[in-house]
Amino acid sequence: MGRLAFGLILVLLCAGVLTVMFTRAQHRSAVLAVARPVDAGQTIADADLRVAQVSADGLITIPASQRGQVVGRVAAMDLRPGMNLTPDALRGSAVPATGQTVAGVLFKPGQLPGRALHGGDRVELVTTSTSQQPAESADASSSSPATGAPTTRRAQVVTVTSAAGSADGSVVVDLLLDQADGPGVAADAAAGHLALLLLPRSG
């Protein structure tokens, strides 16, 4: 009787395990995942995508049935193989959109944080040197020293690449800006008068 009871319990346990596995399999969904690296700001091609089977419990994903709607969209962050696509990983329009511009800025070590920057990072650009306003008179210059806060502008990192031929760790950062800020950033960058501060991604 003991062996018979043990065998019956074993059969019931196996049946329970199979039932759980079947139930989980039934609740798995086909979603879009990343097949090839796509940098932030790049257009997503069909070959960049693959279908993955995942449990739908608590996950925010994009159904595989929406593949045609995702192809042609722009990555809002760096996408790496194996990642499941989420709605916040996509932009609605190409970069730059109307009213925006992209500026490539060369930064040397000390002008930006030591940690690596990634596409989608929010940053603040600080002008580290300004031209002096000509004084109306010597007395005015001596009695009214130049004061004022540095110029700052908000931007978002699109891509980061190593500067060609540079051995000091300099990088070129493509920055998404308001179009009105573009000329000022370009001028400060050409003069080497920009520093970059990293901001929280949200807020």
Residues 82 and 106 in one domain: no
> What's the confidence (pLDDT) of residue 6?
60
CATH at residue 75 = 3.90.1210.10
pLDDT, one tens digit per residue, over 108-141 is 999 999 988 888 889 999 998 755 444 444 444 4
Answer whether residue 142 shows pLDDT above 60.
Answer: no
- Domain check: are 52 and 85 in the same one? yes
Q: Which residues contact 19 (CB under 8 A, 6 or more apart)?
A: none
Residue 15 lies in a domain: no
* Whether residue 183 is found in the same domain as residue 104: yes
Q: Which domain holds residue 44?
A: 29-92
Confirm whether 57 is domain-assigned. yes
**The pLDDT of residue 137:** 42
In a domain, 19, yes or no: no
Take residue 84 and report the two structure tokens written for it: 């499941």
Which of 96, 102, 105, 99 lies closest to 179 in space, CA to CA?
Answer: 99
Out of 45, 63, 92, a domain closes at 92
- Do 163 and 185 share a domain, yes or no? yes
Quick one: how far is CA 180 from the chain centroid?
Answer: 23
- How far apart CA 154 and CA 126 sit, in angstroms, is 9
108: in domain: yes
Total domains present in the chain: 2
Residues 111 and 192 reside in one and the same domain: yes
Residue 52's nearest CA partner among 91, 90, 88, 85 is: 85
Q: Are residues 195 and 109 in the same domain?
A: yes
Give the model confidence (pLDDT) of 160-188 as tens digits: 888 888 788 899 999 999 999 999 999 99
Residues 121, 187, single domain; the answer is yes
pLDDT tens digits, one per residue of 36-47 = 999 887 888 899
Average pLDDT, the chain: 81
Same domain, 85 and 119: no
Asked, for residue 11, whether it belongs to a domain, the answer is: no
- Calpha distance 54→191 (Å, rounded): 51
H or E element that contains 115: none
d(CA 93, CA 75): 10
Strand-strand pairing, 171-178 and 152-162? antiparallel
Residue 158 falls inside a structural domain: yes
My answer on whether 42 and 84 are in the same domain is yes
Q: Are residues 59 and 105 in the same domain?
A: no
Residues 111 and 68 in one domain: no
Give the number of C-alpha atoms closer than 13 A to the C-alpha of residue 143, restricted to the C-beta side.
5
pTM: 0.57
